Structure 1
Amino acid sequence: MTRTLSPPRQHPIPAKPVNPNRLDALLIAETVRLVEADAPLDDDEATRRAAAMDGGREQRLLARAALLADRLGLWRDLQAWRTRAVIAWAGLGLLVFLAGYGLLQGLLGGGRTINVMLAFLTALGMHFLTLALWLLGLLAGAAALSRLSLGNLLLRIASWRASGAGASAYRSRLPPAALALLDRARLLPWLFGLASHAVWSIAFVLALAGLWLMFSFREYRLTWETTIQSSEFFVGFIEATGLLPRLLGFPVPDAAALAADTAGVQRSLAWWLIGCTFVYGLLPRLLLTLLCAAVTARRRRRLALDFGDPYYRKLLARMDDIGRSAVIDPERHAPAASADEDMRAAADGRALALVGFELPPECPWPPPGIAPAPRLSINVSGSGDQRREALLALQAQRPGRILFVFDQAASPDRGAARFLREARASGGAASLLLLPVRGGDDACANRWRAWLADSGMGNLRTFDDACAAAAWLEGRDE
C-alpha cells in the first residue's frame, strides 16, 4: 500500500489532552479513519508505539489515532468545534427568545381581543408537527427525519468551517466522523432529540412566562370568532382540550359558564390557554428531554470502534506483526507448567468455568452452542478491574476445567497472555474456543495457535466449534 507523507505543519500544534475522555478518543479515531480513507498517512512510528503499549486492541487503536491526531492538529480542531458549539447554542437560545417574543405578539396581537382557537393553534401547532416528525423518524428509523431537527441544526452550525491559520486541513472530517460514530450506536435521534426538546422547553417557558405577565397586567377578551362553525363545536373543543389541564388544577370553564360569558369566564379561558400550553407543550417536551438524556447516557456506553471494518482489521494485523517481529516484551516467563501440574491446582474437579476475553459487543454471551452456561460464567471486556474480579472468582471456585473464549479475528497480545497464565493457575485443565465472529478464517486460528506455542502455552487445546468445546468442558469428549 502506497503511503503519503502528511503535509508539514505551518503552525505550532498543541499536544493532545493529558487524559482525553473516551468519547473524544473514539471521535478522533473515527476522524483519522476518514482522513486515511482519502490518503494513507505516514504512520509507522505511531503504529509501532501503539503496538508496544499495554492494553486491549481498542486501547492500542485509540493510542495510534491520538498520536496521529496530535500531529495533524485534530485535537485543536475538536476544541475549536466545541467552542463553536457553545457559541451556536447561545445564538440558538437568542433565536428562541426572539421566537418566543414573536409567538406572544402573534397570540395577543395589537388589540385586546384574542381568538382562543387561533391562539391555541399558534401556540401548539408547530410544536405538534415537529414532535410528530421526530416520533415518526424514531419509530421508522428514518435518518432523514431525525436530522430535520434543531439538534442537527446545532451540529451544522458548530461544524461551520472556521477560517484562519488555526484550522487544519482535516477539520471537515470531524462532523461526518461524529455522525458515523453516533449512528452506529443508534444514538443519533436521541442526541438530536435531546437538543431539540431542550430548545422547545425553553421556548415554552418563555411563552408561558409572557402569557402569565400579559394576562396579569393587561385586560384581554378571549372570544370565539367563526363564520361556519357552531358555538357547540367551540364548547366541545374547550371541554375536550381542558380535560388534562383540569386534572392538574387549571380552571377550565364548562358549557354553562361559556354560555354566560362573564368576567369569570374570561379569567378561566385565560387559564385554559396557559394550562393547554403547559400540559400539551412544555410538559411533554420536558419529559422527552429527560427520556432522551437517559437513553443518551445509557447508549453512550455502547460507543465503540467497529472492529469488523477492514481498516481496523488491517491495523490490528499490522500491530500484531510488529509485536511479534520486535523484541519488546520484557516479560519472559518460564515454560508453562505441565497439564498434570495444572490439574493438581484444581480443588474441585466438578466445577466448570466459562471465561470470555475482549469479545466484540455484539457477540452473544454465552456463545451459541454452549448452553446451559456453567455456574461460573464471566465475560471480561479487558479492563483491569474486570480482569481482577475474574481472577478472584476463579481463585475462589478453583474449577476443574476452564474454557476460555476469544475472538479469533482479534490480535493476541501480552495482556491476553498474562491473563491466560494467571487464570490457568487458579484451576485445572484449560482450553480455548476461537469464535469466528468477526470474519475470522483458518489463517486467524492458525495465528492464535502459533502465538500459543511461542508463548509457552502450546499444550492448550483449541476449538473452532462451540459444540465441541462444550463437550470438552462437560467432559463428554472422553
Structure 2
Amino acid sequence: MRQPPSPTGGAGSLTDLWTAETIRLREALWGPLEDSAEVRQARAEGHGFVQRLLLRARLLARRESLDKVLRQWQRVARLALLAMLAAAALAGIGTALSALGDGARSINLNIALATTLGIHSFTLLLWLFSLAIGRGQGGAWLGEAWLWLTRKLARGPDAALAPTALVSLLGRNSSLRWGLGSISHLLWLVLLISMLLALTALLATRSHTFHWETTILPDEAFVSLTGILGWLPSQLGFQMPTESMIRASRNAGSAPAYVHALWTSWLIGCIVTYGLLPRLLAFIVSILLARLNLSSLTLDDALPSYADLRYRLMPSSERTGIDSPLAPEFLPSTASSPNALSMAVASAIVGIELAPDTPWPPAPLASCTDLGIIDTRAQRHHVLDHLQKHRAEKLLIVCDARQTPDRGTIALIADLAGLAQQPAVALIGPRTDALPAGNASSASQAAPRQRQWRQKLTAAGFTDAQIHDAPQAAADWLNADAKEPA
C-alpha cells in the first residue's frame, strides 16, 4: 500500500510507525535488544515519549538492518502488485474472448452478461455485505492475495516481521480493511477496463450476432429484465433495443443487422454501468478512507512493550554532569544554555578501567576536557550522556594494554568513538620505571595483548593511525590544534 507523504497522526510517518511496530514484535518474540546507546541518543534528541520511542526504533532498525528489510519488502510488494495488475489485464482480455467467442456462432446474451459481470457482481456484493456487518476483509480477496503473494516472495532473515507488523499496525483503526479493499478494487478496475477494450476491439473487427433463449421462463420475463437493465445505461447515452427488437431476437439470426448493433450497445452499457462505475466508486471511497485513517494513525504507547520503556526514555530526573572522583570541576553544564545539546568541546580524554598505578593523565596535555576514568556502570552512563550532549571534536580513549580486550570494553570504546568527530585509542603498557632492572618479562608479556588490542580495534573500525602505543604520541595528537574547552 502506498505511504502518505505527510506525517501520520502528528507523531511520525507511516514508515516510522511501521518501524516501531517491527522492533516491538521482534523484541516480543526474541527478547529485548541492547539499546543503551540508542536510548541515550533518543533522550538527547527526542522531545515527547512517542518521539523518543520512534527515534529509538529508527536507530535500532538501522543498527539491526531492519530498515533494509522494510525497504526490500516494499520493493517486493510493488513488484507483486505490478505482476497482479498484468495478470488482471490478461484475465480481462480472456474474459472478453470467452464472452464473444470466435464470431462463428451467435452470442447468447444471458451467457455473455453472466460471463462478463457474474464474478465481479458477487465479489462486490460480498464486499458491501462485509461493510454492513463490520467484520473481516470480505470481498477484498484480491487485496488479501496480494498480501499473501508478497509474504511468499519476501525472503531472508526477519522478512516475516515486516508484513506481520504492517498488518498489526494498520488493523488498529480499519486502515487495513480500506487498504486491502482499494487494492482489490484497483485490480478489478484493470480487469474491467482491459475487458471493455478487448470487447470493443473484437466487436469493431468482427461481425457478431446476438440472441436470447429460455426454457422455463416466459418471454415476458426476459423482455422486462432487459428493459430494467437497459434503463440506467440509456440515461448515460447508450442506445437500447426496443421491446419489439427484443422479441425479434428470440432466436439466433432472426433479427436484422441494426438490432445486433443495438445489442452491442446494450451489452457495453451494462458492463460500464453495473461493472466499471461501481468499482470505480468503491475504489475512490476505499482509497480516500484508507488515507483518512492513515492520517489519524498513531503509536499505541499504552502497549506493555512500550510501557516498559517509559521510565528509561522519560526518566523523572537526569544527571547532566560527570561525578567520577577523577573528573574535574570545570566540566560544562548541560543546562547552561538552550543550545546545550549542540555544544561541542575541542578535545577530551577518558580512561577505561586503568590500574591504580597508571598516571593520569598519561602525558602532559594542553587545554582539553578531562572526563576521568570509567570504572563503574554509572560512570559509563554519565560519560556517554555527557558526550551525547557535548560532542568532542577529538576524543582520546586511554586503555590498559595489559588487560584482555573483552567484548564489553570494545563495545564501550565503539560507543565513545561514535560520539566524537575524530576518535583515537591510546594503549598504555606497564610503567618501565616501576620494573626491576634487567626484568623485561612484563613488557614481553604485554606485547601479545597489544596485538590482540589492535586486532579487536581494527575489527571495530579503527585504523592504524587511530591507535597509539606511546602515551606521548597520543598526547601530541590530542594537543595538535587544541582549543579551549566549551
- Residue matched to 1:128: 121
The alignment status of 1:180 with 2:168, answered yes or no, reads yes
Match of 2:69 among 41, 65, 77: 77
User: 1:332 Cα deviation (Å)?
Assistant: 5.6
Match of 1:256 among 204, 227, 244: 244
Larger radius of gyration: 2
The alignment status of 1:140 with 2:133, answered yes or no, reads yes
Q: SS where residue 107 of structure 2 aligns? A: strand
The alignment status of 1:279 with 2:273, answered yes or no, reads yes
> Is there any run of 5+ residues in structure 1 with no aligned partner, and where?
1-18, 335-478
Q: SS where residue 298 of structure 2 aligns? A: coil
CA distance in 2, matches of 1:28, 1:123: 43
Name the amino acid aligned to 1:216.
A
- Asked if structure 2 preserves the Cα contact closer than 8 Å seen for 1:27 and 1:181, the reply is yes
Name the amino acid aligned to 1:24.
T
- Asked if structure 1 preserves the Cα contact closer than 8 Å seen for 2:89 and 2:191, the reply is yes
- Residue matched to 1:424: none
The alignment status of 1:34 with 2:59, answered yes or no, reads no
Q: SS where residue 46 of structure 2 aligns? A: coil
Match of 2:295 among 267, 278, 301: 301
Name the amino acid aligned to 2:24.
R
1:210-289 superposed matches below 5 A: 210-260=198-248, 261-289=255-283
User: 1:34 Cα deviation (Å)?
Assistant: 0.3
Q: SS where residue 309 of structure 2 aligns? A: helix
CA distance in 1, matches of 2:186, 2:170: 19
CA distance in 2, matches of 1:201, 1:56: 44
Name the amino acid aligned to 1:274.
I
Per-residue deviation, residues 414-433 of structure 1 (Å, max 9, x unmatched): xxxxxxxxxxxxxxxxxxxx
> Is there any run of 5+ residues in structure 2 with no aligned partner, and where?
1-6, 249-254, 322-332, 339-486
User: 1:196 Cα deviation (Å)?
Assistant: 0.8
- Asked if structure 2 preserves the Cα contact closer than 8 Å seen for 1:138 and 1:189, the reply is no
- Asked if structure 2 preserves the Cα contact closer than 8 Å seen for 1:161 and 1:172, the reply is no
Per-residue deviation, residues 378-420 of structure 1 (Å, max 9, x unmatched): xxxxxxxxxxxxxxxxxxxxxxxxxxxxxxxxxxxxxxxxxxx
- Asked if structure 1 preserves the Cα contact closer than 8 Å seen for 2:143 and 2:183, the reply is yes
CA distance in 1, matches of 2:335, 2:141: 54
CA distance in 2, matches of 1:301, 1:258: 52
Q: SS where residue 189 of structure 2 aligns? A: helix
User: 1:131 Cα deviation (Å)?
Assistant: 0.8
Per-residue deviation, residues 347-399 of structure 1 (Å, max 9, x unmatched): xxxxxxxxxxxxxxxxxxxxxxxxxxxxxxxxxxxxxxxxxxxxxxxxxxxxx
The alignment status of 1:51 with 2:43, answered yes or no, reads yes
- Asked if structure 1 preserves the Cα contact closer than 8 Å seen for 2:234 and 2:240, the reply is yes
- Residue matched to 1:198: 186
Q: SS where residue 99 of structure 2 aligns? A: helix
- Residue matched to 2:87: 95
- Asked if structure 2 preserves the Cα contact closer than 8 Å seen for 1:112 and 1:219, the reply is no
Give the alignment's TM-score, normalised by structure 2: 0.61
- Residue matched to 1:316: 310
CA distance in 2, matches of 1:112, 1:212: 18
Give the alignment's TM-score, normalised by structure 1: 0.62
User: 1:313 Cα deviation (Å)?
Assistant: 1.5
Provide the identity percentage: 35
Name the amino acid aligned to 1:123.
T
- Residue matched to 1:327: 320
Match of 2:177 among 170, 189, 195: 189
Q: SS where residue 185 of structure 1 aligns? A: coil
How many residues matched? Answer: 310
CA distance in 2, matches of 1:194, 1:162: 22
Name the amino acid aligned to 2:266.
W
CA distance in 1, matches of 2:189, 2:100: 21
CA distance in 2, matches of 1:26, 1:326: 30
